[in-house]
Amino acid sequence: MTQKQDKTRVTVEIRNRSYTIVGDEDASHVRLVASLVDQKMREIHEMNPQLDTASLAVLTAINSMNDYLALKEDYASLLGSIKKERG
């Protein structure tokens, strides 16, 4: 594990549990990300009340990763259309 001297440490609460996030992002950004994750977990919980926190979090991660990949494709196709236009 790397030394954390230049990193920010932010404690956030997600589904009544605290997590300390260590990273380069500023605290307000970390809090925004955490609140979006908390919200997504709540939405998935409402549709699947039987799931425990670990499953909710795994499904939330899958969801976010899926959104990320879809946006990555959009980004690549936007970039492609620019290159074609300029070419």
Residues 6+ apart with CB under 8 A from 19: 11, 12, 13, 34
Q: Smallest gap, in angstroms, from Cβ of residue 6 to its own copies?
A: 17
Q: Smallest gap, in angstroms, from Cβ of residue 9 to its own copies?
A: 14
Only one residue has tokens 């899926």, namely: 66
For its own copies, the closer of residues 27 and 75 by Cβ is 75
Q: Dihedral sign, CA of 40, 37, 51, 42?
A: negative
Residue numbers of the site for its own copies (CB under 8 A)?
1, 14-15, 17, 19, 21, 25, 32-34, 36-37, 40-41, 47-48, 52-55, 57-69, 71-72, 74-75, 78-79, 82
